[in-house]
Structure 1
Amino acid sequence: MPDPKSVFINRTIRQSIDFLLFSNIFIALCAVAQALVTYKLLHIKPDQHVLGVLFCSTLALYNFSMLLSKPANAKKSPFRRVRWIFGHYRMMVTLTIIAIISLLSLGLFLSVPSLILLFFLAVIAVAYNLPLFTMNEKKFGFRNIPGLKLFLIALIWSLSCVLLPIVETAAMNLITISAADTILLVGKRFLFIAAITVPFDIRDLFQDRNYNLKTIPVILGERKAYLFCQLLLLAYITLLFLFTKVPDANFWGLTVTILLSGFLIFKSSIKKNEYYYFLYIDGIMILQFIMILLFNWLFALIV
């Protein structure tokens, strides 16, 4: 007979992980971690308001997307995440409202250029989830355009977590970053985000086919989609090596993270459970920041 104490502990841990992952708090923390990576690479102090905006906007947007796409019978969904979200519907709505109110408050502390960028990203993000267009009496959105889903997700994340910190820092005259360096940083982050996004589409391959969503895995097939991920990571590594004059702690932190990303993507499959994707694959974004901190600490000890 199972030990009641062990059962209670396991259930509590499981419920805590479910809350963290499925409430989208974890993915919001991933956005914060990615912004911290940017600040670390630029050797500047993180802006707390920018971090707060990224957390709240990510939380609000992901919750909005899920609430908007409620299935006909959420309780019978094959996905634990969907069952959890709509089983805690009121809490999700409350979290979303709190995130939006907090976002509006934090926006008051940002510069005009940052607000313009945020508005642009918000329009794209909302348009991604809404069926704004009509063709042959069928409504569709950006996500239904073949191959565009991956591009938009990677673009929004890279501009939010890289360009926003740069724009806000430049507006405060704390640092001057060339256009070339900015493009390189955004480009590398785009490749990284795109690579870890594709496995989610591979997991949803059959569902996306049913909904006629032309994602990369639907277009290329499962095997070629995995290869596509590795090519994206290879492109990232290539840019990292080409534009790094002296391999420092940040360089090795990024390199190790990309190698780990490639391994986790290689080990992923349609049969993997949701925790593998929402904890491990998404968690790579937090791991990247941790690895940079770790290698900086190690280099400080050596030097």
Structure 2
Amino acid sequence: MAWQTEEILQLKLDRFNFAGFVFFSTICSYNFHWYLTPGSIRHSERILWGQRRRSLQLLGCGIGLVGSLWFFFQLYHHWLPIGGAVVLTFLYSAPKVPHRAFSWLSKIAVGKTIFLAFVWMYVTTLLPAFMADIMLADVWDLVFLAAYRFFLIYAICILFDYRDREEDRQQGIRSLITFLPEKQLDRLYYISLVIAAGLALALAPAVPLYVVFSLLAPVAVTALVKEYSQRHTSDYVYYFFLDGLMMLSALLHLGWLAAGGI
């Protein structure tokens, strides 16, 4: 997703070190988050597997931390936007830290889903732009792409939170998904996708048509899979298929370029 941002906006930055930082930071943050998350065993064999291997999660967190620090030092002159990404990522998992200094955050985190979608958007869209060595030709392209990413990811996050809403309520985690009636939640879901589609079309004058198609494809698929994902809660549906929809556009984009644009 970060690579696609660089391609669409024609950014000039240290791609290797930036990709390394994003990769290892993701390994670190995911292992940290899931180490702190008991989760619902009725939904996920993956969670049961993780609960039996807490030491492996700590090892993954440590490896990710060492790797991200290494690449951060290669990018230290961009410490401010990178630091913003680190703080935002930590704050998402902070309510799960078993300490009074952080646990109170879960009581005020009404916008949990909004916050998560924003973190994904920031790391994959705004952060590459902030680190670019040249000014953008048109800042509106960045605005449209960032907003497109946010609303697409937000819709996908709604499906995850819908699945977990009973557990969230039991744990006192507050979000719009645990608060809204189902009909209003459906409306929010489809409005988010309509906005994402509109923003993808808004990029049409500035990017090739195959890029617009690649952006619209995951929106269309996400709109079609809502009922299926609510009936089937397996790990493959959520952590492979739905998570994969976030990077589907980038894969289609890469496939087109690899085929020589034919």
Match of 2:63, SS state, is helix
Which residue number in structure 2 is paired with residue 248 of structure 1?
A: 209
Aligned residue pair count: 256
Whether the 8 Å CA contact 1:147–1:216 is kept in 2: the answer is yes
Match of 1:60, SS state, is helix
CA distance in 2, matches of 1:288, 1:208: 30
Q: Mean alpha-carbon deviation: is it higher for 289-298 or for 259-268?
A: 289-298
1:281-300 matches, cutoff 5 A: 281-296=242-257, 300=261
TM-aligned CA deviation for residue 221 of structure 1: 3.0
Distance 1:139-1:106 versus aligned 2 partners, 3 A rule: closer
TM-aligned CA deviation for residue 296 of structure 1: 4.6
1:1-303 matches, cutoff 5 A: 34-44=1-11, 47-70=15-38, 77-78=41-42, 79-112=44-77, 114-131=78-95, 139-141=103-105, 143-145=106-108, 147-170=110-133, 173=134, 176-245=136-205, 248-269=209-230, 271-296=232-257, 300-301=261-262
TM-aligned CA deviation for residue 270 of structure 1: 5.4
CA distance in 2, matches of 1:245, 1:299: 22
CA distance in 2, matches of 1:124, 1:164: 12
Whether the 8 Å CA contact 1:203–1:270 is kept in 2: the answer is no
TM-score by length of 2: 0.86
1:260-281, Cα deviation, whole Å (9 max, x unpaired): 1222234210542122111100
Look at both structures and tell me which one has the larger radius of gyration over its CA atoms: 1
Distance 1:91-1:177 versus aligned 2 partners, 3 A rule: farther
Which residue number in structure 2 is paired with residue 28 of structure 1?
A: none
List runs of 5+ in structure 2 lacking aligned partners. Answer: 97-101
TM-aligned CA deviation for residue 218 of structure 1: 1.2
TM-score by length of 1: 0.76
TM-aligned CA deviation for residue 224 of structure 1: 3.1
CA distance in 1, matches of 2:227, 2:205: 30
Distance 1:226-1:274 versus aligned 2 partners, 3 A rule: farther
1:147-204, Cα deviation, whole Å (9 max, x unpaired): 310121111111111111112223xx3x534433322222111111111111000000
> Structure 2: which amino acid aligns with 1:273?
S
TM-aligned CA deviation for residue 57 of structure 1: 1.1
